[in-house]
Amino acid sequence: MNKLNIKTFLLASAMLAGGCATPPSSEQTNEQQELRVPTWAKDAVWYQIFVERFRNGDTDNDPTLETIKGSNTQAYPENWAVTPWEQDWYKPDPWADELEGDFYSKIQHRRYGGDLQGVLDKLDYLEQLGVTAIYFNPLNDAPSLHKYDVRNYRHIDVNFGPDPEGDMELMATEDPENPETWKWTSADLLFLELVEEAHNRGIRVVMDYSWNHTGTSFWAWQDVLEKQQESKYANWYMIDQWDDPATEENEFAYTGWAGLSSLPELKKIDVVDRKHGHPYEGNMLEEVKQHIFNVSKRWLDPKGNGDLSKGIDGYRLDVADQIPMGFWRDYRDFVKGVNPEAILVGEIWWEEWPDHMMDPRPYVEGDVFDAVMFYQWYKPARKFFAMAEGGATPSQFVNELDAAMRGIDLRNQKAMMNLTASHDSPRFSTSFFNKNKYKYNAKPTDDPTYKTGRPDALTFQLMRMMLMHQYTFVGAPHIWNGDEMGMWGADDPDDRKPLLWDDITFENERYNIKGEKDHNDKVKQDKELMAFYEKLGAIRNEYDALVDGDLEFFLKDDNRMLLGYSRSLGDEKILSIFNMSDKPQAVRLNEMGTYHDLITEESIQVTDQVPLMLQPFTGTILLRENGQE
């Protein structure tokens, strides 16, 4: 496929659906045209924030044993304390000796105190980076560091706001089922202030929720534990067996997400053909659905008066394939009914780990999500630009991109969240430093040879090429917080280190996973990489061709490992060209004339006698100057 445009993808969609080569019918075309994707989604430059590790802006609200109670099955030691932000990552905490297990089991007890004030303090930084949309990992009140074990959906976590104790007291006065009794905690109000400040800078805000499961401290689950089948919420969860009070044994058994007892699953009803990695029909209980709708509207329209400027701009939906399609259609109708411009982004990931990713097409066909976290783009891009998993030629890479995108409406393509890393994967730099299968054996406990230290110079050079591709390709570029600073780290939880702010002096990384000193890596911001991200953000935000332009691959030279494509819109034409070989390469362009290098800001004259020269493992982004034949 050399050119990607609306007609091409509508035709490909019809062929994929039925295996035929006929164009879509007029009825199909009309259905496609009715597809509603937020107008701003294609313009987004995403920045994903994991608040607990972003920045500690208020030490007075740091987690305590009371606020994090119930987050682990193993009790917290009496000498537990918040971990210093600057501490060497693998260095054992003083209280860790009291716990059982290895580093990865103990680190779940660790907290650093990141909060919303820390985000507020750095909004100018994000604006300078070119960010136009923030995706927050769960903010809902929960005892864990990750917040997917929700204590309640309706409030912001108490440790993210200025008054944890006061917020807990206030929440205790509410009826969790009745939104008319819900009040605004200090954490809630600080979040709404953050939304307003972000909007003032032209930055959208999206929240992350998992409607699939709750935590064990969730109010409805606590009622079930106490009253068993007599609880009014007994039908909310997937209960396998109730306790028999006539016996000493506790027979109570239930389904937890991914087999985790800490995450009891909410019940699905009318289920048809449930299979992991595939969409399935069904729904959720009406009373559960209504509670979810009430929470969702609370953040979309916090004033309750239709003033959507005060609310958030959409939701990222966790483990979306675990929830039936009937619910997602109802959810989309509800959310879009409140705010038609709200975005819905689904986590559609593994069908069969580690080799097969889910097909996102059924989830973006008009009645479910506007976009997905597009790991399906990253996997082949990593293979090409990182030379991972045996590498790929330019032709192979283009074919894999074609396979990932074929059949997806162009409006959804433009909204796809093109990410190089997330809270669930190795950091961008570490992912490129290691050449193994994506996310497979991506921790030192899984593979003793897995490299967890500072990546080498070649890795950072290859990352720059990947970034040029990410910011000039179809879809919305995404940054996992800290990747722009040059941070490194293996798979979860090593990807969740505290961010490297330049007003903090960090300890060198000397310790390994066993708590032994065996290296000495300097830990500080990579200013050159940060400046590169800023440059790409500015380029992406300035040129409409990089958002709406037609895509054409004009260069796929497998022998010399050269790849080139253009994005064209009206008179604006931008070329992205990459040399993935270890030799300098001359690139002869079809169109001679003057080009503006958007990275170096230099003018380049290209003729038959003077071709474009690319050094080994480098790329360029060129703007063709107007007025040329």
pLDDT, tens digit (0-9, with 9 covering 90-100), for 351-405? 999 999 999 999 999 889 999 999 999 999 999 999 999 999 999 999 999 999 9
At residue 31 the predicted structure's pLDDT band, cuts being 50, 70 and 90, is very low
User: For the segment 192-208, what is each residue's pLDDT rounded down to a tens digit?
Assistant: 999 999 999 999 999 99
Closest CA to 415 of 43, 42, 46: 42
- Name the pLDDT band for 507 (thresholds 50, 70, 90): very high
- pTM, whole model, 2 decimals? 0.94
- Write down the domain spans for the chain: 41-207+272-536, 219-265, 551-629
Distance CA 629, CA 624 (A): 11
Q: At what angle do helices 186-200 and 164-171 cross, to 10 degrees?
A: 110
Q: Considering the domain 551-629, what is its CATH architecture?
A: Sandwich (2.60)
Instruction: Judge whether 41-207+272-536 and 219-265 match in fold.
Output: no
Structure-token pair, residue 413: 């393509």
How much is the pLDDT for 35?
54
Share of the chain above pLDDT 70, in %: 94
The answer to whether the peptide bond before residue 493 is cis (omega within 30 degrees of 0) is: yes
> Phi-psi bin for 25: left (phi > 0), alpha (psi -120 to 50), beta?
beta
Residue 601 has pLDDT above 90, yes or no: yes
- Mean pLDDT, the chain, rounded, equals 93
121-176: per-residue pLDDT in tens? 999 999 999 999 999 999 999 999 999 999 999 999 999 999 999 999 999 999 99
DSSP symbol at 280: -
Please compute the mean of the pLDDT values over residues 23-32 and round it to a whole number: 37
More confident of the two residues 158 and 5? 158
* pLDDT of 420 strictly over 70: yes
Residue 274's pLDDT is 87
How many angstroms separate the CA atoms of 14 and 30, rounded? 13
Mean pLDDT of 574-603: 97
The CA-atom distances, in angstroms, between 255 and each of 172, 268, 287, 444 are 28, 12, 20, 30
394-405 and 375-385 helices cross at what angle (nearest 10)? 180
Q: Domain 41-207+272-536 is of which CATH architecture?
A: Alpha-Beta Barrel (3.20)
Given strand 46-49, what is the order of strands in its sheet? 371-372, 343-346, 314-317, 204-209, 133-136, 46-49, 476-480, 417-419
Q: What is the predicted pLDDT for the residue at 25?
A: 34
CATH number of the domain located at residue range(s) 219-265 in this protein: 3.90.400
User: 430 with 488: CB under 8 angstroms?
Assistant: yes
